[in-house]
Amino acid sequence: MVTLCSAARPLASLLRRHVLRRAWSPRIVPARRCNLLACSSKYVLSQIHPMWQEPLAIPGGDRQSPIDIAVRKSVFDSELKPLVYDYDPQTCQQIWNNGYSFLVEYDDTTDKSTLKGGPLQDTFRLCQFHFHWGESNAWGSEHTVDRRLFPAELHLVHWNADRYSLFEEAVMEDNGLAVIGVFLKVGKRHEGLQKLVDALPAIRHKDSVVEFTRFDPACLLPANTDDYWTYHGSLTTPPLTESVSWMVMKQHIEVSHDQLAVFRSLLFTSAEEDVQRSMVNNFRVQQSLCSRTVRSSFSPFLQEADADQHAH
Ligand SMILES: [Zn+2]
């Protein structure tokens, strides 16, 4: 998504979150254990999320996201520098189930957690990260690479603090946002992610917010952040504004099937709703590249030659 938080946090939503944050108490209330078999009829997989069922005020532009990244059509740009990220785990504040994904939100009132370098001219502040995932491991990512789908995709959302004074302002403007995308594959358990996974049962329902602190988002980046694709695109949730410099990492991270299963145990629905819907398939359909170029910070051809040499 890049995201609802994002997507121009309406004032009402901000206020509601503020209230929820205040209402939240550190007292641990044991959740009723749900026997999935016994109550499975109450839980259905969502076909189409309500967000996409209503007519959208789509900007109708030709810079929409997500897209398929065709590796051989991407253009190597030797001017693309490595990304420079400097995240302060102390700025981590809370996790919020917004009814479409869960957002890990950061204090972005100062330049404590920032991203610069890469294709960026300015300094961008981290405001939140979230994921998109599928109901099975066969799909779930928003971007694809040569049509290859991944089970999930992480988005770290930053806004341009050099040019704008608020996220809400930056989200509507050109060069307002910078989003890092990281593909997730299923493999071994991700130790850094586990602290987050452990917190998710507390925000199972839509609109739940809990305090979540001292989480270093850098632990979710792949070992190699020098190799990435970049292009100009949009938010992947309403208002779909074309304000995003995307940086999609070439290297994926690995998480376990069990960790993704906890993502899938979240709900699109609030506790009051009669029919509960599993939070899965929360990705936008792919958009046309139109006349855009995807640039890469690395040369795929050089790397192929390297690989050949190693193979022989
Ligand atoms: Zn996203």
Q: How far is the centre of ligand 1, averaged over its atoms, from the C-alpha of 311 (Å)?
A: 37
Residue whose C-alpha is closest to residue 63's, from 157, 151, 154, 177:
177
Q: How far is the centre of ligand 1, averaged over its atoms, from the C-alpha of 308 (Å)?
A: 35
Please state, in angstroms and rounded to a whole number, the distance separating the CA atoms of residues 187 and 184. Answer: 9
Q: How far is the centre of ligand 1, averaged over its atoms, from the C-alpha of 111 (Å)?
A: 22
Question: Could you tell me the residue ranges of all domains in the chain?
Answer: 11-26+33-311
User: Residue 262: what pLDDT?
Assistant: 98
| Strands 177-186 and 253-255, bridge-based pairing | parallel
Q: How far is the centre of ligand 1, averaged over its atoms, from the C-alpha of 100 (Å)?
A: 10
Determine which helix (DSSP H) or strand (DSSP E) holds 301, and give its type and residue range.
helix 300-311
Q: Is it true that the peptide bond before 239 is cis, omega within 30 degrees of 0?
A: yes
Q: Is 19 helix (H, G, I), strand (E, B) or coil?
A: helix
Q: How far is the centre of ligand 1, averaged over its atoms, from the C-alpha of 132 (Å)?
A: 6
User: Residue 26: what pLDDT?
Assistant: 34
User: Residue 56: what pLDDT?
Assistant: 62
Distance between start and end Cα atoms, the chain: 43
User: Residue 163: what pLDDT?
Assistant: 97
Buried b (16+ CB within 10 A) or exposed e, 201-223: ebbbbbbbbbebeebebeebbee
One digit per residue, the tens of pLDDT, for the chain of length 312 reads 544 343 334 433 433 333 333 333 333 333 333 334 333 445 555 557 877 776 665 556 899 999 999 999 999 999 999 999 999 999 999 999 999 999 999 999 999 999 999 999 999 999 999 999 999 999 999 999 999 999 999 999 999 999 999 999 999 999 999 999 999 999 999 999 999 999 999 999 999 999 999 999 999 999 999 999 999 999 999 889 999 999 999 999 999 999 999 999 999 999 999 999 999 999 999 999 999 999 999 987 665 545 444 444
Please state, in angstroms and rounded to a whole number, the distance separating the CA atoms of residues 309 and 129. Answer: 39
Residue whose C-alpha is closest to residue 9's, from 289, 299, 239, 297:
239
Q: How far is the centre of ligand 1, averaged over its atoms, from the C-alpha of 107 (Å)?
A: 19
CA distances from 214 to 69, 167, 192, 233 (A): 34, 22, 12, 31
Residue whose C-alpha is closest to residue 211's, from 110, 105, 136:
105
Q: How far is the centre of ligand 1, averaged over its atoms, from the C-alpha of 30 (Å)?
A: 31
DSSP notation for 119-179? T-SS-EEEEEEEEEE-SSTT---SSEETTB--SEEEEEEEEETTT-SSHHHHTTSTT-EEE
Q: How far is the centre of ligand 1, averaged over its atoms, from the C-alpha of 25 (Å)?
A: 29
Q: How far is the centre of ligand 1, averaged over its atoms, from the C-alpha of 236 (Å)?
A: 6
User: Residue 196: what pLDDT?
Assistant: 98
Beta bridge partners of 157: 128, 179
Please state, in angstroms and rounded to a whole number, the distance separating the CA atoms of residues 232 and 103. Answer: 23
User: Residue 61: what pLDDT?
Assistant: 86
Spatial contact of 6 and 167, defined as CB atoms under 8 Å apart: yes
Please state, in angstroms and rounded to a whole number, the distance separating the CA atoms of residues 237 and 45. Answer: 20
Q: How far is the centre of ligand 1, averaged over its atoms, from the C-alpha of 307 (Å)?
A: 32
Please state, in angstroms and rounded to a whole number, the distance separating the CA atoms of residues 73 and 80. Answer: 17
| Residue ranges of E strands in the chain | 43-45, 68-69, 75-76, 83-86, 92-97, 102-106, 114-117, 124-133, 144-145, 152-160, 177-186, 209-211, 228-233, 244-249, 253-255, 276-278, 295-296
Q: What is this structure's pTM? A: 0.84
Spatial contact of 34 and 220, defined as CB atoms under 8 Å apart: no
Spatial contact of 271 and 209, defined as CB atoms under 8 Å apart: no
Q: How far is the centre of ligand 1, averaged over its atoms, from the C-alpha of 94 (Å)?
A: 17
| CATH C-level class of 11-26+33-311 | alpha beta
Q: How far is the centre of ligand 1, averaged over its atoms, from the C-alpha of 127 (Å)?
A: 13
CA distances from 16 to 5, 74, 95, 240, 256 (A): 13, 43, 14, 23, 34
Q: How far is the centre of ligand 1, averaged over its atoms, from the C-alpha of 38 (Å)?
A: 33
| Strands 177-186 and 152-160, bridge-based pairing | antiparallel
